[in-house]
Structure 1
Amino acid sequence: MSEEFKEKLRKYSEGTLPEEERTELEQELEKLEAYQVYVDELMEREDHLSEHQEVDLSNGKSKGKGKSKRKSASAREKGIIRRGKWRARIANTFTVLAAFLAFWTISGIITAVFYSTGGRGETYSDVVSSAVAVSRPNTIVHLSSNAKFFFRMEMSGKLLKQIGGETVDVGSYSTPFLLGLGGVGKFSWTDERSGGNYYFQYPETAKNSGSLRSDGVEWRMLEKLHEGTVAEAYLSLDRLYTTDELLKKLEPLNLLPVWFAADAGQFSRERFAGTPLGFPYTPLWHADDMKVTKISEEKSGWFSKVTSSSSVSPAVESYGDGALREENFMDTLRLMQQHKKISNNVAPFIDLDESISYLGEHGVKLYGVVVTGPVKELLKLREDTWISNIRIGEVRLWNWRE
């Protein structure tokens, strides 16, 4: 095989051979394949002939030295052909392997460039973590991404809850990506109760059904818990509150608010809203919310430099800034709406368009809140008229700081 022909094969496998030369080479390869088929048939006939000659020799019917010489020459020819066949097979194998390795490397480069360009990876991570935070009461996830070959990426992280004074691990979450298309995520809970088997009651629904105080079992459960424990409680409210109004109610309590359930229309008015929509006590700041405080540049070579910056999120009063919190909630929903396919894979039960439209028209009003703290402090809420119902969630040993 000439070096010129080898070079054409290499360019052909890389896809860089001009169209005219590619057509000629493919025609030549078809001829070689036809030649190979002919050679195989020829070798089979010669093998068959050799077997008959051996039979003749064993019966004493040899025709002499001439035939012996022809047989020896034929064996040499077949050996040469066989070696040629194996060389061709090995060459084809290496060509296919080289093409596969080239595609593997190129796909890895394209994958890394795609997810890093324009902050796509960070945006997708923000969308996924936001969807978890607004659809799963008192649950957040810190994601890490792992770019793979063939344009794939996987995001995964621990699911965390605030129980008392500590953030505890309650499970894990993972979701695959193929370029900009997110796959269905997987929640793996360490305890089935952590997966959201608690609910709130919408005020009007509770009144109409006569189940305003159907939480006697929950209070008795709370009474039986040891005083040296902390718990998570889902509180349903007697009416709709603004964020500022509810924060003022919570400020005197020795409890920590962690999540607010927002009225999103008909979706929230079901008697048992097991999958409510809301926002965490600590706002979900996004890239557009951050304020850059410092930018620095450092040379890393003759013609290159590294630029770094530091930024801070807006300051929020512990029991105030309701308008800022509500606007952050709406910004989060709009971010999810821009990447609806990804959001729907995390929280398919949320109608983002309908919810955003309703909240934009009626404002953000709250009908439930998740709080956590000492059991003895939760028991003090029994006589508060602004609480219509309670559900007890996770319980842990004492970890509270006064």
Structure 2
Amino acid sequence: MSDDWKEQLQKYYKGNLPEEEAEEVEKDLEKLSAYQEVISEELEAETESSNEDLPPEKIKRILDDGIRNARFSLAAYVIMILLLIYPILTVTSYIYYGWHQKAEDLIQVPIQTIYITEPNVSLEEMDIERTFGLFTFEVTMDLYKRVGKSDIKQGDWEVIYQYDDAEFPKRNYISENPPQDIPYFDTKKLYHPEARITNRDMDAWDTLDRLPEGTVAEVYVSLNDLIQPGNAKEIIEGLDVEWRWYAIDTGLEASGKSLEGGYLAPIGYPAQPDPDAWSPYNNREPNEEQFMESLVFLKDYEEQATNIAHAKWLDLEHRIDYIKNNGLNTYGGVITGPAKEILKLKDNESIRTISIGEVRLWNW
């Protein structure tokens, strides 16, 4: 549309055109109206024709394609959001476990729990693995027992934390005599002098006598009296054997029951210092001092330690107070050495009863 015609049309609407020119404009407008009517009719006819020509199958396919594309778009948006959220949660999880060395403390809980609640069991630093997830933390450890002069692999524990809460460990044992998941009186191997013996091995000394000359053994020894750990060496004086672990009197062992009345497993500490600097019983301090440090540390994580240990009650506050007031005294523990050397303790008046643990061929 030219500018001249627009100007003429404006004059027409304002009534400023001569009659002859106004008639020409009206004829042009009639032509435009007829043209617009024809265009509208043709478009309407084409639309109706296209709708009538589409079969139901094609319409369904078009709708299905639309739904599928919508679902794909939604899934893509969800994946994109998850890809953005996952790194944020991962970083937050690392910050959570790294804050105030939380992860290091949680690693120490199963380590120190094993040393004080598992007689004659030790760990190797290279066999301790840790894995972080989204607010989860997993510690896997291989457990060893000293039998003779060799550390025999007993199995492995897998401890999983959800935030700070420790789940019951997954324990995989490869030894012939693994401990019970939940110990009870009839599985007891160490007895306080005032405790009633419920699981005496009447043939233990005879078994040692029948073992071949070239064997070494792990033996649980219960004493007739409480003694200081430092004096325990006098019991094996002159014999080619060694103490591996001391069971400590904490005021509850005579009854063998926790403050709540449940079965109370023994606690104690290694008799020999560990040459590895990472160990909680290294050469830095005497083992009895490090034992007390372990108890104080675990008291702040007693719920986790109780979930991890075979023992279902630890009563650490009571035990710590008792030891502080009465000193460290042992009622037995674990020794190892040649079977025939241990047999020489049969007539020792200090010994109340024994229980045989692992036995191996000569490695002394």
Fold shared per TM-score above 0.5: yes
1:159 aligned partner = 143
Unpaired segments of 5 or more residues in structure 1? 1-63, 291-311, 317-323
Q: Which amino acid aligns with 1:218?
A: A
The answer on 1:330 being equivalent to 2:292 is yes
Tell me how far apart the structure 2 counterparts of residues 106 and 127 of structure 1 sit (CA, whole Å).
Answer: 28
SS at match of 1:140: strand
2:129 aligned partner = 144
Alpha-carbon distance change, 285 to 263 in structure 1, aligned in 2, over 3 angstroms = farther
Query: Residue 95 of structure 1 is aligned with which of 53, 77, 86?
Result: 77
Tell me how far apart the structure 2 counterparts of residues 355 and 176 of structure 1 sit (CA, whole Å).
Answer: 27
> Which of 1 and 2 has greater Rg?
2
* 8 Å CA contact 2:136, 2:163 repeated in 1: yes
Query: Residue 203 of structure 1 is aligned with which of 179, 187, 193?
Result: 193
Tell me how far apart the structure 2 counterparts of residues 379 and 105 of structure 1 sit (CA, whole Å).
Answer: 62
Query: Residue 242 of structure 1 is aligned with which of 196, 213, 228?
Result: 228
Paired residues for 1:168-183 under 5 Å: 168-183=152-167
1:352 aligned partner = 316
Tell me how far apart the structure 2 counterparts of residues 380 and 171 of structure 1 sit (CA, whole Å).
Answer: 31
- For residue 79 of structure 1, report the CA deviation from its aligned partner: 7.8
- For residue 248 of structure 1, report the CA deviation from its aligned partner: 4.0
Alpha-carbon distance change, 274 to 370 in structure 1, aligned in 2, over 3 angstroms = farther
Tell me how far apart the structure 2 counterparts of residues 103 and 241 of structure 1 sit (CA, whole Å).
Answer: 60
* 8 Å CA contact 1:263, 1:365 repeated in 2: yes
Report the structure, 1 or 2, having the larger helix content. Answer: 1
TM-score w.r.t. the length of structure 1 is: 0.66
- Alpha-carbon deviations, 1:136-195, whole Å to 9, x = none? 1112344311112x2112111212100110000112111111122211223222246231
SS at match of 1:176: strand
| RMSD across aligned positions (CA) | 3.4
The answer on 1:190 being equivalent to 2:174 is yes
1:275 aligned partner = 265
Tell me how far apart the structure 1 counterparts of residues 73 and 254 of structure 2 sit (CA, whole Å).
Answer: 67
2:204 aligned partner = 218
- Alpha-carbon deviations, 1:15-72, whole Å to 9, x = none? xxxxxxxxxxxxxxxxxxxxxxxxxxxxxxxxxxxxxxxxxxxxxxxxx998534424
Alpha-carbon distance change, 221 to 365 in structure 1, aligned in 2, over 3 angstroms = same
State how many pairs are aligned.
303
Q: Which amino acid aligns with 1:247?
A: K
* 8 Å CA contact 2:159, 2:168 repeated in 1: yes
% identical aligned pairs: 27
2:17 aligned partner = none
* 8 Å CA contact 2:264, 2:314 repeated in 1: no
Unpaired segments of 5 or more residues in structure 2? 1-44, 181-186, 258-262
Tell me how far apart the structure 2 counterparts of residues 377 and 65 of structure 1 sit (CA, whole Å).
Answer: 109
Q: Which amino acid aligns with 1:364?
A: L
Paired residues for 1:303-342 under 5 Å: 313-315=282-284, 324-342=286-304
Alpha-carbon distance change, 68 to 367 in structure 1, aligned in 2, over 3 angstroms = same
Tell me how far apart the structure 1 counterparts of residues 46 and 254 of structure 2 sit (CA, whole Å).
Answer: 102
SS at match of 2:306: helix
